[in-house]
Amino acid sequence: MRNGDGDTPRGERGQGLTTESFDALLTQLAPDRERAGELYETIRRKLVRLFEWRGCAAPEDLADETINRVARRLAEGVELRSNDPYGYFCGVAHLVYKEVMRRAAREHRALESGDWPPPSSLTDDEPSDQRLDCLRRCLQELPADQRDLVLRYHQGENNIRNRQALADQLRIPMNALRIRIHRVRRKLETCVHECLSR
Amino acid sequence: MRHDPTDDELLRSYLLGTLPEEKADPLERRLLAEDELFELCEAIEADLLAAADRGELAPEERERVLRRLASSPQGRERHALARSLNAVAAAPAPVVAFPVRPRPSVRPAFRWAALAAGLLLAAGLSWRLMEPPHGGESSPVIAHERPAPAGPVTSDLPQETPAPPPPPPVVAQEKRPSTEKPKPAKVVWQLALMTLRGSEPPRRVSLPSGTGEVELQIGVEGMEDLESFHLVVRSPRGKTLLDKKGLKPQTLDGARTLVVELPAGQLSAGRYEIEAQGTPQDGGEPEDLSPLSIQVVRGSKG
């Protein structure tokens, strides 16, 4: 596990995860070690996304910092509530986030200010030929029904209507369609990433 | 787990950063605990990134999406995937979804003051849509089933053999005779004059390599009082590629449509302007229509 840098709050930076605290974390997550490991990975992945959704530029570092702090507290004897084991992670994540925000404000880097320059991806550059080629190859590797579905989902104007028609056709609720598409997109994301890395 | 119907809006607000903190905190707790809700949040995030790319969001929403969701390296990757999917999905064969404008209730001169383009290109499929009346933000849409175009429509997807381009990834390829001689490829771009939504970003259309001809099909439903049209297509450098007066709409599956063709060789990547005028049946003065912009993207060879 990384200690984190970048956005990581200064206060506890550098205090990594010890074997003791990691064991304490796994023990409280689940009695079965393998299951505990899975839960740990899930929580970490979700924390990364939560920090991303809050617009943090180094979400992995902040997720690691959150987990490190939780693990240290558990090693000190704090117990996770069995009916809401995630609540503690969430509370610590909020503290970490607020520290980042305070630091950013101090450094005049208002993360949420309207005059913050947009990220480089804001440009209207077309996707590169290489990326498009990779995506086409990855689409070809999908089962035909999934390929058809994901293309139709992304087609053209009047998207909401198209999607509702798709959901009606499949006889599933719109959110089920969204999730189905998202799973296909995840496959494509992985495939395109691997293709571009070659 | 079943989703509360309000979860969609809650998650959307959360992702846009407009959800008050007192609601964001419990939502994040739920996101950690509920896998399906978390997955839905990721799905809505991807939809927002795709919508931002298609110009379907208000400017401030788009900025929020890109700043919040595309600021990390992973977010930029997701944004790139959304853009690529939009581009590839826009390429293949057409599905028709011509918007039908409500009969104008304003004076004709104002009616044409703003006019937006609707574009729908789809993968060899047809379906019929009917949208129920809603809040008036856009006009209702009816899509008409349409037979496949006479020439083969090129797919934007790579083919494994250099054989004639089969239709995009969908159905019944085996019904096509395998010995069919390749015809010059034609791409159909379907546009429509739509609602009074003011200026819009250009619609993106794909021109796969090997295309011989592009057929522009421009829906003019709801404009029955206009007898003929004058269309001008200008290249990114302002060169006039087509200047056609007295164009009479054809009826394609019940939809009034202007049909013009352009040699694909005249088209390179870039933004094209389509200017239109309509001449009323009573022979009155032609009415200027707001220009329609398209962004042509050249596809790689299939």
Higher pLDDT, B45 or A82: B45
Burial zone of B174 (CB within 10 Å; 0-12 exposed, 13-18 middle, 19+ buried): exposed
d(CA A132, CA B260): 29
Tokens of B154: 């090129």
At B95 the pLDDT is: 36
- At position A56, the amino acid (one-letter code) is C
pTM score, whole prediction: 0.54
What integer is the mean pLDDT of A151-164? Answer: 80
- The β-bridge partners of B247 are B229
Q: Which residues neighbour B64 within 8 Å (Cβ) at sequence distance 6 or greater?
A: B16, B17, B18
Residues of chain B with pLDDT under 70: 1-5, 92-184, 192-202, 221-222, 253-255, 290-291, 299-302
The answer to whether the CB of B173 falls within 8 A of the CB of B200 is no
Of A87, A119, A155, the CB nearest to B66: A119
Q: Which residues of B touch A127 (CB under 8 A)?
A: 80, 83-84, 87
Kindly report which listed range (A20-29, A145-154, B98-107, B274-283) carries the lowest average pLDDT score.
B98-107
Model confidence pLDDT, tens digit, residues A57-67: 889 999 999 99
d(CA A12, CA A66): 10
Higher pLDDT, B145 or A83: A83
B63 CB near a chain A CB, below 8 Å? yes
Model confidence pLDDT, tens digit, residues A108-127: 555 555 554 455 444 456 67
The Cβ of residue A157 has, within 10 Å, a number of other Cβ atoms equal to 26
The DSSP secondary structure of A42-96, one letter per residue, reads HHHHHHHHHHHHTT-S-HHHHHHHHHHHHHHHHHTT----TT-HHHHHHHHHHHH
B74 CB near a chain A CB, below 8 Å? yes
At B193 the pLDDT is: 62
The residue of chain B with its CA nearest to that of A143 is B169
Q: Considering only residues 244 to 283 of chain B, which have any Cβ-Cβ distance to chain A shorter than 8 Å?
A: 269
Please choose, from the candidates B114, B120, B182, the residue with its C-alpha nearest in 3D space to the C-alpha of residue B153: B182
Could you give the 3-state DSSP secondary structure of residue B278? strand
**B40 with A179: Cβ contact below 8 A:** yes
At A126 the pLDDT is: 66
At B241 the pLDDT is: 86
Side-chain half-sphere CA neighbours of A74 within 13 A: 26
Higher pLDDT, A98 or B293: A98
Tokens of A72: 């240290």
At B82 the pLDDT is: 92
Tokens of A29: 């997550």
Mean pLDDT computed over every residue of chain A: 81
Confidence of residue A82 (pLDDT cuts 50, 70, 90): low
Could you give the 3-state DSSP secondary structure of residue B232? strand
